[in-house]
Amino acid sequence: MIKLRNIDRYIDKRLQRNFILKGIDLDIEEGDFVSIMGPSGAGKSTLLNIIGFLDDANEGEYYFLDEPVHSLNERQKSEYHRSYIGFVFQAYHLIDELTVYENIEMPLLYRKVKGSQRKSMVADMLDRFNIVAKKDLFPNQLSGGQQQLVGVARALIGSPKLILADEPTGNLHSDQSKEIMETFKKLNKEDGVTIIQVTHSDEMASYGDRVINLQDGAVTENNPYEEE
Amino acid sequence: MFKNYIKIAFRNLLKNKSQTVINVGGLTLGIICAIVIFLIIQFDLSFDKWHEDPDRIYRVVRHETEFGKSVYYRGGPYPLAEAVRNDVTGIEYSTLVFNNLANEPIISYYDNGNLVKKLKESDFAFVDPDYFNILTYTWLSGNPETAIKNPNTAVVTQSFALKLFGTTDVLGKSVVFNGGTAADIEITGVVKDMPENSDFPFTFIGANSTMDRNGETAENPSWGSNSSSMQTYVKLEPGFSEEQINEQLEALIVKYRNEEVAAELDLFLQPLSEIHFDSRFSNYNGRVIEKSMLLALGIIGLFLLIAACINFINLNTAIAVSRSKEVGLRKTLGGTKSQLMLHFFGETAFITLIALVLGVGLSEIVLQNISPVLGFSPEMNLLSNVELQLFIVSIFLLVTLLAGWYPAQYLSNFNPIEAIRNKIQSNYGRGLTLRRGLIVVQFTITQVLIICTLIMASQIRYFQNQDLGFEKEAVVQVPIQNENMPILNVFKSSLLNKTTIQNVSFSNTGTTNNSVWGGNYIMIEDSIRHENSGQVKFIDENFIDTYGLTLLAGTNIQPSDTVNAYIVNQSFAKEVGYGDNLSGLIGKTTSMWGTEAPIVGVVKDFNTQSLHEGLAPVLLAPRKSFFLSAVKINTARTKEALGDIERAFNTAFPDLVFEYSFLDESIESMYEDEQRTAKIMNAFTLIAIIIGSLGLFGLVSYMSTTRTKEIGVRKVLGANLLDILKLFGTELALLTGISFVIAAPISWYLMRNWLEEFAYKIELGIGIFLLALSGILLISVLTIGYKSLRAALSNPIESLKSE
């Protein structure tokens, strides 16, 4: 599903080039549940952003579903982005001015889904995460875990093939974290959604079936497909 | 989708209440100005457009070269209208319009056979029957073809009929028109009043032949005598051009006068569409506005709207930072740049719409209260005024585009990752950012307006304080229309008996008047002939004392019915070479209007017209041509004095209507135009200041919240109050300085042109500019003072705690 070849991401300062990512080669198959781990500043989030089309690599090739992302234009990227990828953030990033219902609905609006269909899709999602009663509340009226559930619901509403989660449980206490990770695991097993998460915690990583360690912008271990 | 935009826009508006008020309030003010100015311009451009075939209607005007100077007149000789009708090919209709405004006639009517003195009516005209074929009236009764065919007939307007008789059913009723027409005048038609946007506001339109028969025009029967009270209007036959007619008009002068006169005199056509706008000629409405003035007004309106848009742009790009997260999120959730731009445009459109609705509503209120300032009252008629509807739609599009494009572009361009991480800082960097540029534009607009307003105000004050060469206080002027000396003398002596009255004088026009009597004076001395145009005033022996003129040499005149002596002014003395030797002029003879008499005195120069005009040679002579009495009263007992004057007047002239005015007030009213302009400018300047202050306040309050942390850190590191205030103040002072450098020359140029109109004008010194600069600095300091002081005084522990 995802094929990265010799990906470089760097920032040019006056005299020197600072590499954030260097020579990344990575393959991820559909249905994987991957955890990216590593110390702060290793380039975990940058890698996730590149995979999620939010950032561009300076060098190298990136194939998403065998489509060369590095040569897609903005519009095409946006198209893929909408249809295949959902994001979950550490800080939830719900829009404060919108209710739970409206936050979940938003991706559908950008996808120009019809009103009645939108209604049933959002209702489904509220049902699935047991937050029907909270649909008219605003984000600041919810607890952190509830907000993250809304965040996951929002990421899922477009039935993405890939969920990218940047420390989804970083702001949550353990019970809430478990609930979110169980949700991910279920999605992965039952619906075959590919999940890539960035995490610091081994416990959270253990929900997945593969770990990628990053150190100073390079993959250092545990990439089974590379070895084959 | 759009519903979602509106929803979030609305919630954002509620969340940032102060910014909403500033955005909506500023835009609303700008929109009110734009709409009101649009309606004023529309009103002025609509004058006399509705007549049938307006492009074939013309006035015949006159251009003369007098002593090398070009002079334009609206009137012509009395026989012109008829000559044009008979001798010029291409003329369909031609009419004389006779309207002598110097003495307002009194119109009386019969009530059960008794004559009732009723009212003075200045909006009258005596015309030829063709008049109603040239200008379009709506007839309520009477026959347009025959109404004023016969002498002693008149057509009146609806409002006139109602005022006089209380009904419009007045056909066949008779009125008496004083001023030489002995016979009763029969009303033969009633027409609707001309709308307010007409330069022909006549309410009483009489048959010109009435005047003929009663000899009213007998004193001006010749081709040689021109008067602005005798104007000629024509309607051309289709297919004839102005040039074709102008050539024939020239031939008329040769035919009825001679080649010599034709060389210095031009008659030519002025299109109806120019009558409201050509300030070389006055009109019956009394208000001529140059199209360049309308353009200037339009530009002011546009600038005020732009200033309001600038607030919007500045504030929204500043706030943009706090919305960066939302932008980033929407992008990661699949929103494209164009969708986001549309979103932000939608928000701007929404705010604009609110401001527009408020603006239209408030404009209606402004319009209802603006007529005392404007002197006329344009109406909105939103539902039927298609041009206004189009204008409002274009304001909506223009403001949305102007105010919305940049913030939308700016916001939607955010990089989603940085935006989500709140890495976007308010780009409060160095150098010339767009925001600074816009503030400079806004400040420049405000400063130009402030400087212009200050200059206008000081010019008007200069007018008011200028020494006119006579005493304008405590003089009451009462118009009289009676040349019967015994009656005048009774009036005078009954006044002088009163202790409230100090002096009484009769004259033709008083010292200072819009009506100027003049001609060429001739003085021949040692075979050198001095001839030039001068003014003449017919006075009595009390004139100099009543008006407080200063006699510099010689003596006063003696009472006399005819011209037997002249008093001249300094300007006259200068022109004939006696500027340094006033007493040498005494005993010399001069002549005016063919009457030769010795000069007996010289008075100090005094202003005979408004200060738009300079001094002119003036000859004062005794002759009983009196239209105005001047009464010097005891100011401590003004009310009593006025009562005495009225009683004496009514006893002496039972047929006349008593009217009075204070000399200083009638002089003041000569500057009505300037005062009106100044008032309008005051209003616009105030609005520009409010819009500018609103924007500044919004920006500073936003800056003070975003920079709270920075201020906290600086204070912890030892910055004192002044250092923090400098943070806010330095930049502002710099921007004000830059805009002043731009604004000063622009306003200097504009105001120099404005002052050109006046013979007496202030010097454009640096003082007034510095005053404007300190004014705007003071306003800025007051605007930002509170917020920046509060930011500077805030406890750093509070602001740093949140981290």
What ipTM was reported for this prediction?
A: 0.72
Helices (H) and strands (E) in chain B, counts: 24, 26
Give the closest-approach CA distance of A225 to chain B in angstroms. 29
pTM > 0.95: no
Residue B204 burial (CB count, 10 A): 23
Looking at the 3D structure of chain A, how many domains does it have? 1
3 state DSSP class of A53: coil
Question: Which residues of chain B have a pLDDT value below 70?
Answer: 1-2, 101-104, 117-118, 179-182, 211-222, 421-432, 482, 796-803
Per-residue pLDDT tens over the stretch A103-139: 898 888 877 788 889 899 999 989 988 889 999 998 8
Question: Which residues of chain A have a pLDDT value below 50?
Answer: 224-228
Give the closest-approach CA distance of A128 to chain B in angstroms. 20
Contact B334 A154 (CB under 8 A): no
Helix (H) or strand (E) holding A68: strand A67-68
The answer, for A200 touching chain B at a CB cutoff of 8 Å, is: no
Give the closest-approach CA distance of A167 to chain B in angstroms. 14
Q: Which amino acid is at B701?
A: S
CA dist B167 → A179, B160, B203 (Å): 91, 9, 15
Across the A/B interface, how many CB contacts are shorter than 8 Å? 53
| Contact indicator for B627, B480 with CB cutoff of 8 Å | yes
Question: CA A149, A152, A153: angle at the middle one, nearest 5?
Answer: 85
Give the closest-approach CA distance of A43 to chain B in angstroms. 14
A82 contacts in chain B (CB < 8 Å): 334
Burial class (CB in 10 A: 0-12, 13-18, 19+), B224: exposed
Residue B404: the pLDDT is 85
B333 contacts in chain A (CB < 8 Å): 87, 106-107, 110, 154
Q: How far apart are CA B147 and CA B129, in angstroms?
A: 8
**Most B CBs within 10 Å: which of A47, A56, A78, as the mutation test of the B interface?**
A78
Contact B334 A78 (CB under 8 A): yes
Residue B104: the pLDDT is 66
Domain that holds residue A39: 2-227
The answer, for A81 touching chain B at a CB cutoff of 8 Å, is: yes
Two tokens, residue B711? 């201020």
The answer, for A87 touching chain B at a CB cutoff of 8 Å, is: yes
The answer, for A55 touching chain B at a CB cutoff of 8 Å, is: yes
3 state DSSP class of B575: helix
Contact A97 B1 (CB under 8 A): no
Cβ neighbors of B543 (< 8 A, separation 6 or more) are B505, B507, B537, B549, B620, B630
- Closest to B617 measured CA to CA, from B577, B567, B570: B570
Residue A111 burial (CB count, 10 A): 15
CATH number (domain holding residue A61): 3.40.50.300
From A89, A93, A97, residue closest to B11, measured CB to CB? A97
